[in-house]
């Protein structure tokens, strides 16, 4: 699967393009801005762009009005097709947000229900509508909103007409934009049989079509398996990543990784490929959450070195800041042009290292050395061994461990490393040592 060997780049298009929050109905060709960023995206070593919602919605994209029309605030279907074509021409895959659990109040079939009530042919399209109830919108009917949000009307994914409407929309996305995969919004809320059918349907459209699910907690294997999703968002390690650095306790993240991918038979996700991230459109940017800015390159090194598919959120590659307390618009900012600095360069080198390494893409996970402030772990595949070494403190650390060989080459810098007499780790340093057999 191509996704397992890729680095993802997430763009939240409505914010990225500076679109107004409310859908003003005014056509602007803002999405073409992505084309200007392609050289920057390519320089970062990105293999796939994941676009948060692009289809016509009431406000933030997740309250869809029309699954078959690019949001007027972003442009036309032709505009987005042009963007996808330009990305594909550079060998970059396209993954869209599949928002199938709920729709916006502006969705045509729901508007029909509001107008025609029991006479509407779409009454059964929605989950648990009660014509004798009411909501705070005072529609004279009650319906289930996602997690109590009545601007997000829950779809009935057991209704065959709904399933076929969504599937034919996806077919259009493949035919019109040649998309390569979907990230399923609130996958943990989706009807499980719908997810199974989605896997079969998309695999028939494209044999290597990739399905990623947004999972927050619980056992990701409930939806991530051979008949459902290929991947899930690794929120367990998201928290562990920044918390380990801020508390200077590397045991937290390494124990999570051992629980997920370690050598024991009981580990949860051995051989699977979760989506790794240090921030996204829903959480505080990593440069704002880390208490020591010198840990910024190191948290990316850990994310790229651990099992999974690394995903970089637009703007964070140069250290953009924003907190959740400032509100979603702050997290989903519009940048006039991409920036390039030492952090961007570092991430580009990490991307190249991962792309070229069988062990980093497919290798097992084993902890080799672990202290509060340092960690070394091994990624081992059939043909390659890589040691990921990180020193989080402001002093040099000499690591003594059995490397199983005498020499290595650092995949990040290309420099040779001699394990003889202990491995010196300078302050705030990270290495991907590929063992020379």
* Contact call for residues 204 and 273 (beta carbons, < 8 A): no
Nearest to 79 by CA among 17, 23, 171: 17
What pLDDT is attached to residue 437? 67
Per DSSP (E only), the strands in 266-337 are 275-277, 309-313
Return the SS3 of 12. Answer: coil
CB-CB neighbours of 353 under 10 Å: 22
Q: What is the DSSP string of 29-47?
A: -GGGHHHHHHHHHHHTT--
pLDDT class for 30, splitting at 50, 70, 90?
very high
For 104-127, write each residue's pLDDT tens digit.
Answer: 999 999 999 999 999 999 999 999
For 244-303, write each residue's pLDDT tens digit.
Answer: 999 999 999 999 999 999 999 899 999 999 999 999 999 999 999 999 999 999 999 999
What pLDDT is attached to residue 382? 95
Q: What is the DSSP string of 54-66?
A: -EEESSSSSSEEE
**How high is the mean pLDDT of the chain?**
97
Q: What is the DSSP string of 228-241?
A: SBSEEB-HHHHHHH
* Contact call for residues 296 and 290 (beta carbons, < 8 A): yes
What pLDDT is attached to residue 216? 94
Average pLDDT of the residues in 340-367? 97
What pLDDT is attached to residue 436? 80
What pLDDT is attached to residue 404? 87
> Is 406's pLDDT higher than 90?
no
Average pLDDT of the residues in 338-366? 98
> Is 54's pLDDT higher than 70?
yes
What pLDDT is attached to residue 94? 98
Chain length of the chain: 437
What pLDDT is attached to residue 225? 97
Q: Which has more pLDDT, 406 or 167?
A: 167
> Is 46's pLDDT higher than 90?
yes
What pLDDT is attached to residue 111? 98
> Is 434's pLDDT higher than 90?
yes
- Structural domains of the chain in order of their starting residue, each with its CATH number: 2-107+157-361 (3.20.20.80), 108-156 (3.90.400), 363-435 (2.60.40.1180)
What pLDDT is attached to residue 399? 94
């Amino acid at each position: 699967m191509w996704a397992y060997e890729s680095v993802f780049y997430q763009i939240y298009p409505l914010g990225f393009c500076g679109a107004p929050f409310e859908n003003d109905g005014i056509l602007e060709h803002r999405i073409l801005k992505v084309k200007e960023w392609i050289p920057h995206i390519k320089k970062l070593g990105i293999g796939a762009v994941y676009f948060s919602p692009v289809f016509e919605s009431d406000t933030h994209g997740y309250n869809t009005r029309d699954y078959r029309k690019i949001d007027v605030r972003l442009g036309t279907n032709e505009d987005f097709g042009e963007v996808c074509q330009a990305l594909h021409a550079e060998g970059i895959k396209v993954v869209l947000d599949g928002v199938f659990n709920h729709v916006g109040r502006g969705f045509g079939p729901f508007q029909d229900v509001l107008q025609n009530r029991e006479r509407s042919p779409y009454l059964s399209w929605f989950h648990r509508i009660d014509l004798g109830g009411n909501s705070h919108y005072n529609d004279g009917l009650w319906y289930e909103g996602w997690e109590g949000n009545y601007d997000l009307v829950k779809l009935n994914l057991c209704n065959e007409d709904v399933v076929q409407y969504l599937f034919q929309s996806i077919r259009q996305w493949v035919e019109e934009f040649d998309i390569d995969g979907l990230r399923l919004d609130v996958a943990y809320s989706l009807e499980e049989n719908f997810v199974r059918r989605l896997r079969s349907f998309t695999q028939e459209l494209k044999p290597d079509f990739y399905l990623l699910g947004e999972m927050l907690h619980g056992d990701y294997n409930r939806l991530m398996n051979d008949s459902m999703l290929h991947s899930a968002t690794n929120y367990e390690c998201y928290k562990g990543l920044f918390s380990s650095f801020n508390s200077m306790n590397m045991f937290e993240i390494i124990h999570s990784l051992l629980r997920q991918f370690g050598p024991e038979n009981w580990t949860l996700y051995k051989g699977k490929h979760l989506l790794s991230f240090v921030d996204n459109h829903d959480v505080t940017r990593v440069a704002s959450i880390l208490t020591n800015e010198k840990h910024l390159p190191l948290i990316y090194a850990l994310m790229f070195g651990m099992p999974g598919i690394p995903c970089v959120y637009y703007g964070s590659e140069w250290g953009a800041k924003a907190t959740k307390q400032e509100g979603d618009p702050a997290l989903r900012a519009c940048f006039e042009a991409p920036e390039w600095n030492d952090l961007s360069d570092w991430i580009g080198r990490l991307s190249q290292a991962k792309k070229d390494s069988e062990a980093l893409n497919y290798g097992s996970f084993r902890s080799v050395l672990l202290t509060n402030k340092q960690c070394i772990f091994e990624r081992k595949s059939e043909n390659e061994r890589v040691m990921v070494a990180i020193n989080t403190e402001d002093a040099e650390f000499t690591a003594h461990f059995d490397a199983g060989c005498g020499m290595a080459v650092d995949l990040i810098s290309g420099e040779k490393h001699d394990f003889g007499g202990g491995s010196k780790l300078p302050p705030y340093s990270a290495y991907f040592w590929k063992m020379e057999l």
